[in-house]
Amino acid sequence: MSDDTLTISDRIQAQLDDLTRAERQLAHSILENYPASGLGPLSALAKDAQVSVPTVARMVQKLGFSGYPEFQLELREELKAKVKNPIAKHDTWAERAPSEHLLNRLTDAVIDNIRHTLGQIDPKDFDAACDLAADTSRHLYIVGGRVTHTLAEYLFLHMQVIRPKITHIQSTSNAWPHYLLDVKEGDIFIVFDMRRYENNTLKLAEMAHAKGAKLILFTDQWRSPVHHLADISFSSRIVIPSAWDSAVTPLLLLETMVSTVQNLTWGDTKDRMEALEDMFDQTKLFRKFT
């Protein structure tokens, strides 16, 4: 590296606030696949970032270079140094932290969990579950427990936009028996139950099962007792080097399910989403996204 140990990536990030809209857009494009994109011709970079050519020229000057060639020169120097440096065997995620840092250790564990979990999932099951969740002729109930209700609600919030006839039940609430009154045969329950498994959730699942509802279960690798009642279950690995379990893998499955269901019901969803957009615009809850 050159005189100072600051990489160009660092400098861009540090200055990110002093940059204008187009320049920020460009900055993200440079960081997107760093440093490769900065090593091409200026015009290619500009096109890639969808900004004009002079914007690129101006920004590199703002970063303290006399011009684009000098900017590229330093990028190449950086690259040389990185390749040469034996430490730069970046098998570490947070590159600036030692590999023993929790950021790296937990990320390792989480990736490992994802790999294990996905490796054991049968895509047929997954697709079948998504088909069920996309079926608007059935009412969809989403059930979570003490901790897992956050996952349940995350799923609920998205599904709410995608389809009608949907209810979020918290198994720890006293009110859940009331919800079961209306359950009809063929309705769907998406149940979350991770250790420590909750009695309420099990009872709720039993009653739903008795009423002829289909059960889709998200659980952990040891499987909640609800598993015996479930039509389809997904078990995620959730252990990380922490006193707590990780919800990352189940969340990934959820997001994939949301995306899949969305694709299955695109015709209807589109209208629903546009309607929602309008409502948000009217309530001025949100800032315009620029």
Partner DNA sequence: ACAAAGGTGTTACATATTTTTCAATATTTT
Partner DNA sequence: AAAATATTGAAAAATATGTAACACCTTTGT
Site residues (CB under 8 A) for a copy of itself, limited to 199-258: 199-200, 202, 221-223, 225, 227-228, 240-244, 246-248, 251-252, 255-256, 258
Of 7, 29, 55, 92, the residue at the interface with DNA (CB under 7 A) is 55
Question: Least distance from C-beta 35 to a copy of itself, angstroms?
Answer: 8
**Part of the chain binding DNA (CB under 7 A), chosen from 46-54, 148-156, 188-196, 230-238:** 46-54
Question: Contact between 197 and DNA (CB under 7 A)?
Answer: no
**Part of the chain binding DNA (CB under 7 A), chosen from 28-36, 68-76, 140-148, 189-197:** 68-76
Of 26, 42, 110, 229, the residue at the interface with a copy of itself (CB under 8 A) is 110
Sign of CA dihedral 232, 115, 130, 174: positive
Dist CA 190 CA 114 (whole Å): 21
Contact yes or no for 205/189 (Cβ under 8 A): yes
Question: Contact between 273 and a copy of itself (CB under 8 A)?
Answer: yes
Contact yes or no for 162/190 (Cβ under 8 A): no
Q: In the numeric block, which tokens belong to residue 262?
A: 């969305």
Dist CA 105 CA 240 (whole Å): 9
Question: Contact between 199 and DNA (CB under 7 A)?
Answer: no
Output DSSP code: residue 138: S
Question: Contact between 94 and a copy of itself (CB under 8 A)?
Answer: yes
Question: Contact between 17 and a copy of itself (CB under 8 A)?
Answer: yes
Question: Contact between 279 and a copy of itself (CB under 8 A)?
Answer: no
Instruction: Report phi then psi at 51, rounded to 5.
Output: -125, 170
Q: First vs last Cα of the chain: how many Å apart?
A: 36
Contact yes or no for 165/263 (Cβ under 8 A): no
Dist CA 227 CA 170 (whole Å): 18
**Part of the chain binding DNA (CB under 7 A), chosen from 47-55, 91-99, 103-111, 196-204:** 47-55
Question: Contact between 69 and DNA (CB under 7 A)?
Answer: yes
Contact yes or no for 139/165 (Cβ under 8 A): yes
Q: Which residues pair with 191 in a beta bridge?
A: 143, 217
Please, which residue, 187 or 218, has the CB nearer to a copy of itself? 218
Size of the site for a copy of itself (CB under 8 A): 99
Dist CA 257 CA 123 (whole Å): 11
Question: Contact between 4 and a copy of itself (CB under 8 A)?
Answer: no
Question: Least distance from C-beta 192 to DNA, angstroms?
Answer: 25
Binding mask 19-38 for DNA (x = CB under 7 A): -xxxx---------------
Binding residues for a copy of itself restricted to 33-92, rule: CB under 8 A: 33-37, 39-41, 69, 72-73, 76-77, 79-80, 83-84, 86-88, 90-91
Rg of the chain on CA atoms, in Å: 25
Contact yes or no for 142/155 (Cβ under 8 A): yes
Q: Which stretches of the chain bind DNA, using CB under 7 A?
A: 20-23, 41-43, 50-55, 57-58, 60, 66-69, 72, 290
